């Protein structure tokens, strides 16, 4: 009972990562701060958009060099795509540019909320899986859609806690639990995280990892927040495994009455 096995890490797409925190690169004030935040977060997997990097050889000091220095794996995304066709095309470009068949698949359905379009997403996922990609789809927190994405061969499902950059946290914890029950692949909470307790909660709900960008990159102190997120994800994972106490309406004395001194 009390011999705690340390967290042996998180496996997705056949790769094992020591950290359960995945970091997005958007929103950082500059590369120097971003590098410090990446290092402070302890992450081993970082997302980036094709259009945000200059991939030409010889370009120095850029995002790719930074991520290479940090020793993290790249996870290109298809941010800004509104149809399956567009997302598939960007995924292929990214595969060539970054020499990886991993893709964070985004097919946006609404420009104000940036929430995904499930129908287009499922279509793109099927096609990319068939093309040999390791597909990690950014999806809504709809449990049935999540299961269908897993069914077509996605390597994980990545439900939104809340809209990208909103900082609203996990809008519907019940849905995250339902998703955790309905798929075998890893569940990665993606989008909406605002602060450390949100990340801890996501892990306590059974998520295998948390992906966030703005919560760190747009914080007043991104490096401190990256450290906070690192600890929060670890805390939430440990708590999930540690078997929390049940909720009780009334109290349960931690100090029993026996043995009180006579007064």
List, as residue ranges, the binding site for 1-deoxy-D-xylulose 5-phosphate. 165, 191-192, 213-214
Q: Please report, as residue ranges, which positions from 32 to 51 form the binding site for a second copy (by CB under 8 A).
A: 32-33, 36, 40, 49-51
Q: Is 56 in the site for a second copy (CB under 8 A)?
A: no
Place of tokens 């701060």: 33
Q: Is 208 in the site for a second copy (CB under 8 A)?
A: no
* Residue 137, beta-bridge partner list: 105
Task: Residue count of the chain, please give it.
Answer: 263
- Contacts with a second copy: how many residues (CB under 8 A)? 112
Among 62, 80, 153, 206, binds a second copy (CB under 8 A): 80
Is-catalytic flag, 104? yes
With beta carbons less than 8 A apart as the criterion, state whether 91 and 115 touch.
Answer: no
* End-to-end alpha carbon distance in the chain: 39
**252: exposed, middle or buried (Cβ count in 10 Å: 0-12, 13-18, 19+):** exposed
With beta carbons less than 8 A apart as the criterion, state whether 155 and 179 touch.
Answer: no
Among 75, 128, 178, 187, binds a second copy (CB under 8 A): 178
Q: Please report, as residue ranges, which positions from 106 to 165 form the binding site for a second copy (by CB under 8 A).
A: 109-110, 112-119, 122, 140-145, 147-148, 162-165
Residue 232: count other Cβ atoms within 10 Å of its Cβ.
23
Extract the annotated binding site: 165, 191-192, 213-214
Among 201, 207, 209, 210, binds a second copy (CB under 8 A): 201
Kindly name the residue from 104, 123, 175, 230 that is annotated as catalytic: 104
Q: Is 2 in the site for a second copy (CB under 8 A)?
A: yes
Q: Is 9 in the site for a second copy (CB under 8 A)?
A: no
With beta carbons less than 8 A apart as the criterion, state whether 189 and 182 touch.
Answer: no
Using DSSP's 3-state secondary structure scheme, residue 103 falls into strand
Catalytic residues: 104
């Amino acid at each position: 009972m009390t011999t705690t096995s340390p967290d042996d890490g998180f496996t997705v797409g056949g790769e094992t990562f020591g950290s359960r925190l995945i970091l997005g690169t958007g929103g950082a004030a500059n590369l120097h701060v971003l590098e410090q935040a990446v290092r402070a977060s302890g992450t081993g997997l970082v997302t980036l958009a094709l259009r945000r990097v200059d991939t030409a050889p010889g370009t120095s000091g850029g995002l790719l060099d930074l991520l290479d220095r940090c020793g993290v794996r790249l996870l290109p995304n298809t941010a800004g795509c509104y149809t399956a066709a567009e997302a598939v095309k960007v995924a292929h470009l990214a595969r060539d540019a970054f020499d990886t068949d991993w893709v964070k698949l985004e097919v946006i359905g609404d420009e104000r909320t940036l929430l995904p379009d499930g129908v287009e997403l499922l279509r793109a996922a099927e096609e990319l899986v068939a093309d040999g990609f390791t597909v990690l789809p950014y999806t809504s927190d709809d449990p049935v859609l999540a299961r269908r994405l897993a069914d077509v061969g996605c390597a994980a499902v990545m439900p939104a806690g809340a809209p990208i950059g909103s900082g609203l946290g996990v809008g519907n914890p019940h849905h995250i639990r339902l998703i955790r029950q309905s798929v075998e692949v890893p569940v990665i909470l993606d989008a909406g995280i605002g602060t450390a307790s949100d990340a801890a909660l996501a892990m306590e709900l059974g998520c295998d990892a948390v992906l966030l960008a703005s919560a760190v990159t747009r914080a007043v102190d991104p490096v401190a927040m990256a450290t906070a997120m690192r600890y929060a994800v670890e805390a939430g994972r440990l708590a999930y495994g540690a078997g929390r106490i049940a909720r009780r309406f009334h109290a349960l004395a931690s100090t029993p009455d026996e043995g009180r001194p006579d007064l």
